[in-house]
Structure 1
Amino acid sequence: MPLLTWLDESTDERPGAVRVDDRSLSWVELRRAAGAVADDLRGVRRVAVSATASLETVVGVVGGLLAGAAVVPVPPDAGPVERDHILRDSGAEVLLGPPGPDGVADPPVVPVDLARRSDGRHAEPDPAATALILYTSGTTGAPKGAVLSRRAIAACLDGLADAWAWTPDDVLAHGLPLFHVHGLVLGVLGPLRLGSRLHHVGRPRPDRYAAADGTLYFGVPTIWSRIAAEPAAARELRGARLLVSGSAALPEPVFAALADLTGHRPVERYGMTETLITVSARADGPRRPGTVGVPLPGVRTRVVDERGAALPADGDAMGELQVRGDTLFDGYLDRPDADAATRTADGWFRTGDVATVGPDGWHRIVGRAATDLIKSGGYRIGAGEVEDALLAHPGVREAAVVGTPHPDLGQQITAYVVGDGLGEAELIDFVARQLSVHKRPRQVRLVDALPRNAMGKVQKSRLTEG
């Protein structure tokens, strides 16, 4: 079966199958435009795509996949050093899109012309062939290229179709970047495999989501928080079928606000660049704030302690989440050392995330082991629980909690808070009244904003720099 099954087989020439901002193509137009790009790429093994939120990016990525090339999305806002690293490290032979700034040595540039068409056919590559090389934003060192096969992407999308009852009757609306798993694999390749129409709204503003008329909406917590803060926009989503949140934990107050304003309890899911999506709540099941559901078909998970011993599925035991299954990547490009560090001797992938699993199989992600599991005075404390407690205060707009060195406790709970008219002692007492006393912050720092990456994740390592 072709990776892009629907696109490969559709004869639908009706306009508007794939829309980005105010431009669109039918299924047939998209296949023929991408076919023209694929013709240009015959014999190319790896192709970089300047991944702007545009139809050109969609056509370029699809053209690369039709040609059987490994596609390397390049963030459009990448600085010269990051851009040069991605292009050189990936070995991209061609760049689809505009050239980079002066002084950056790009490979040969081929523009994507949406007016060109081709009916040429290209053989479907082996399912084990590389589809994408996505560069991860690690906390140390230069980004690494995660190699994702066509088989892994297909397994992920088919699993989500099962979990979310995702069909050709859906209209997917989102405004996510097109160089990550969420926006590109789920948000573009998903419709092209499963047949739902796609409306990428451009900049992900609440008014654009409200006007998109989708049945299925994707967003990150930052987007959902902004939508919840504009009740008129949120109420326009009542006609949707499913709201999906991912890429970071959705704060419980935002979950509650969306449920009240839209009539929908959001579906949360969990995944990484290296694993694609592995765990999700289901469209036909409950949605519980603070949890991400159960493993997708074909995925297995376990939680282990520091020695690698399995922990009980009792909803309380916190340990590293490890996964295995058909959605996993093939490794880091030319980095066998990094590969070895992520795999256990018995073949499981180490996510580096801390989680609990309940008796019913429901997963709760505590956060990254390096930043979100705080060991203070002999207690193991999840940063997310303290963040949710802070966000329940009416004056708190954003909160991030980390462990910082303490001479007696080992680590102390330090909170960074964005809000109005707040005092440190007030917030410490507020948390202590909700949670165990040992979970209260020892220090609260009031800041104007929290540092975030393109997907809205708080970059906690930057909070403690300097």
Structure 2
Amino acid sequence: MSVFSAADRARFRAEGHWGDVTLPAMFAATCARVPDRLGLVDAPNRAEIFEGAPKRLTYAQMQVEVDRYAAILQARGIGPGSLVATQLPNIAELVLLYLAISQVGAVLSPISMAYRSAELRDLSQVAEFDAYISVGQLRGQAFYAERLDALPDHVQRLGLGEGLPEGVFRLDTADAGDSAPVPLDADDLYAVFWTSGTEGIPKAVPKTHNNLMSSSLGAWRLLGLPDGANVLAPFPFVNAAAVGGLMMCWMRTAGAMILHHPFDVTVFLTQLKTEDITYTMVAPTVLVYLREQAQDPDLHPALNRLQAIGTGSAPPDPEVFVFFQDRFAIPVVNFFGSNEGAQMCSSQERIPDPRQRASFFPRDGDEAWKPALRTANGGTFKLVDPATGATVSEPGALGEMYIQGPTLLPGYYSRNGIDRSKFTADGYLPTGDLFQISDCGSLIRFHARSRELIVRGGMKISPVELDNVLSALPGVREVAVAAYADPQMGEKVCLFAVMTPGHTLDLPAVTAFCDRAGLAKFKWPERLVLRDALPRTPLAKLDRKVLAKWLAQQGDIHA
């Protein structure tokens, strides 16, 4: 039974956003069309992360392995409706198992490798897993063993590689018969993803085949990648953005997916230089590093082969966008998205100015502006004043984004069913993301998470706005601001900065920079902390709450 209403299914099909093709059907069609084309490539450091020599598989070889895993899963009683949790690094087996789980009609639930027994126990309370798949060892250390007891007794324990605990069935060496075909529907659930858990226990986000098909269309169309384009994938495949964006872009281009993660800059550069990469997506701090390394003549051919670079998850430095466009004619595409279904894409076609593209997104999809337009993934939104609940539409106005459309989840998933209590009566999902309409009226800019605003003496400060401005400080690799308590003003701003080698920074230099930038004084950072790295959530997003918590623990100590 579909988790979406008949009216939604009919509407999104009529609009051309949904269809009847499932992910296994798309993969099978590619295997039949280009069986001998290279399809999947392990990172060269596979043996350090997991075990065994790196795999390089054609589509025909992938299909054989997917069918084998599907047969093994079916023999274990896993089939339509089974919920299969996976906790896997970016190795070839991850992709093969994702496809096999879907092929037998089961529902995938990928979990971050950073989660340990406490988090796994929490997730098991929200969703009733039927099976769990992970690796025996990671980087030479036991991985599965400490998670074993966090799973309820009824959950099948399945694993890959050496060092699996007793009682865990090993998949990669198991004998397999033939897999039985399973009728699939594009409106069936494909996966249950997990939010980052920054507001408590992560929420479970169910997505259908059609949800993911439509979520991938925006990036694929805007990037304009040719048939056979190779994609370098340095993000973990645990959320809708990575699966619906990177993995689905790969499935649509039918080239090779070059796997990478955990992120290692040396390995990443080696892959860029030695593989024929057309597209990759990286965090803003990696963009800065690539700019620093661009003087390396061995890297020039690799950069010249790239047709686009995607970025997201944190405010990027606009000058980096300018650098890659002017020096290598590479358009950097800025993405903003969520597991729940938001997707903004700032491409060169839609926003030619690279500096604008680093901060702004097309206003397409705003129902109060031009109702016929849609966001990159076919959705619409409205901006709502958090205080009054009124829709805002004027240039300069600020509002919380409420979304709807073909990529929107049907509701949060739990063992008790689909929960739509967070939705409005007319079917919108409030995202908690504040966006501001540009002065020109045709663009929008992410302002802040509504719960992250810094309030200094009654004046509200967007941490994202400051991140954007301060990312241009000379010598910084990445920056983030957070609030700390002040008895007179309530809150003040602290800047955390990660410096490039050979550079340093002090607070007078920061205030002088803010002065030159014409930034209102109440927004100026009044503390500075230099760090080796910024904290990240398991989904690789900046974890500003960790910074705020650290500041709270420091008390009145001034940096």
TM-score with structure 1 setting the length: 0.89
The amino acid of 1:351's aligned partner reads T
CA deviation after TM superposition for structure 1 residue 133, in Å = 0.9
Q: Map 1:184-333 onto structure 2 (within 5 A).
A: 184-204=243-263, 205=265, 206-207=268-269, 208-231=271-294, 232=296, 235=300, 236-275=302-341, 278-282=343-347, 284-287=349-352, 288-293=357-362, 294=364, 295-306=375-386, 307-314=388-395, 316-333=396-413
8 A Cα contact 1:46 1:71, kept in partner: yes
CA deviation after TM superposition for structure 1 residue 156, in Å = 0.9
8 A Cα contact 1:50 1:75, kept in partner: yes
Distance in structure 2 (CA, Å) of the matches to 1:217 and 1:138? 27
Q: 1:2 aligns with which of 11, 21, 40?
A: 21
Q: Does 1:36 align with 2:102?
A: no
The amino acid of 2:411's aligned partner reads G
8 A Cα contact 2:89 2:262, kept in partner: no
Distance in structure 2 (CA, Å) of the matches to 1:64 and 1:112? 13
Three-state SS of the structure 1 residue aligned to 2:414 is coil
CA deviation after TM superposition for structure 1 residue 230, in Å = 1.4
| Correspondence for 2:16 | none
The amino acid of 2:454's aligned partner reads I
Q: Deviations over 1:360-411 (max 9, x none)?
A: 643311231211x334445443223322332322143332123444455454
Three-state SS of the structure 1 residue aligned to 2:148 is coil
| Correspondence for 1:365 | 446
Distance in structure 2 (CA, Å) of the matches to 1:9 and 1:382? 47
Distance in structure 2 (CA, Å) of the matches to 1:432 and 1:112? 60
Distance in structure 2 (CA, Å) of the matches to 1:292 and 1:76? 31
CA deviation after TM superposition for structure 1 residue 335, in Å = 8.3
| Correspondence for 2:17 | none
8 A Cα contact 2:115 2:538, kept in partner: no
8 A Cα contact 1:399 1:417, kept in partner: yes
| Correspondence for 2:200 | 141
Distance in structure 2 (CA, Å) of the matches to 1:20 and 1:353? 36
Q: Deviations over 1:279-303 (max 9, x none)?
A: 2124643352212344115211222
The amino acid of 2:385's aligned partner reads D
8 A Cα contact 1:252 1:290, kept in partner: yes
Three-state SS of the structure 2 residue aligned to 1:464 is helix
Q: Map 1:53-202 onto structure 2 (within 5 A).
A: 53-98=90-135, 100-102=144-146, 104-105=148-149, 106=151, 107-110=155-158, 111-113=170-172, 120=179, 122-202=181-261
CA deviation after TM superposition for structure 1 residue 178, in Å = 1.8
CA deviation after TM superposition for structure 1 residue 46, in Å = 1.0
Q: Deviations over 1:230-250 (max 9, x none)?
A: 112763312211111123322
Three-state SS of the structure 2 residue aligned to 1:41 is helix
| Correspondence for 1:457 | 541
C-alpha change, 1:116 and 1:394, in structure 2 (3 Å) is farther
C-alpha change, 1:318 and 1:375, in structure 2 (3 Å) is farther
CA deviation after TM superposition for structure 1 residue 141, in Å = 2.1
Q: Deviations over 1:324-347 (max 9, x none)?
A: 101011222228899556322322
Q: Deviations over 1:158-191 (max 9, x none)?
A: 2332222244232112211121233333222332
Q: Does 1:425 align with 2:508?
A: yes
8 A Cα contact 1:168 1:197, kept in partner: no
Distance in structure 2 (CA, Å) of the matches to 1:412 and 1:345? 38
| Correspondence for 1:19 | 41
Distance in structure 2 (CA, Å) of the matches to 1:157 and 1:255? 23
C-alpha change, 1:148 and 1:361, in structure 2 (3 Å) is farther
Q: Deviations over 1:247-278 (max 9, x none)?
A: 33222243334334433130112110111x52
8 A Cα contact 1:32 1:117, kept in partner: no
The amino acid of 1:89's aligned partner reads V
CA deviation after TM superposition for structure 1 residue 200, in Å = 1.8
8 A Cα contact 1:97 1:112, kept in partner: no
Q: 1:353 aligns with which of 414, 422, 433?
A: 433
C-alpha change, 1:117 and 1:170, in structure 2 (3 Å) is farther
RMSD: 2.8
C-alpha change, 1:388 and 1:248, in structure 2 (3 Å) is closer
8 A Cα contact 1:222 1:456, kept in partner: no
Three-state SS of the structure 2 residue aligned to 1:18 is strand
C-alpha change, 1:122 and 1:260, in structure 2 (3 Å) is same
Q: Any unmatched runs of 5+ in structure 1?
A: none
CA deviation after TM superposition for structure 1 residue 351, in Å = 1.3
8 A Cα contact 1:246 1:269, kept in partner: yes
Q: Does 1:438 align with 2:521?
A: yes
8 A Cα contact 1:428 1:444, kept in partner: no
CA deviation after TM superposition for structure 1 residue 193, in Å = 4.4
Distance in structure 2 (CA, Å) of the matches to 1:191 and 1:317? 38
The amino acid of 1:440's aligned partner reads K
C-alpha change, 1:119 and 1:268, in structure 2 (3 Å) is farther
Distance in structure 1 (CA, Å) of the matches to 2:415 and 2:314? 27
C-alpha change, 1:113 and 1:261, in structure 2 (3 Å) is farther
C-alpha change, 1:349 and 1:51, in structure 2 (3 Å) is same
The amino acid of 2:38's aligned partner reads G
Q: Any unmatched runs of 5+ in structure 2?
A: 1-19, 44-53, 137-143, 159-169, 365-374, 554-559
| Correspondence for 2:86 | 49
Distance in structure 1 (CA, Å) of the matches to 2:378 and 2:128? 32
Distance in structure 1 (CA, Å) of the matches to 2:339 and 2:480? 23
C-alpha change, 1:168 and 1:421, in structure 2 (3 Å) is closer
C-alpha change, 1:300 and 1:403, in structure 2 (3 Å) is same
8 A Cα contact 1:6 1:195, kept in partner: no
Aligned residues between the structures: 463
8 A Cα contact 2:309 2:332, kept in partner: yes
Which has the larger Rg?
2
Q: 1:385 aligns with which of 461, 465, 476?
A: 465
Distance in structure 1 (CA, Å) of the matches to 2:447 and 2:543? 16
8 A Cα contact 1:18 1:197, kept in partner: yes
8 A Cα contact 1:395 1:421, kept in partner: yes
Three-state SS of the structure 1 residue aligned to 2:192 is strand
Percent of pairs identical after alignment?
Answer: 20
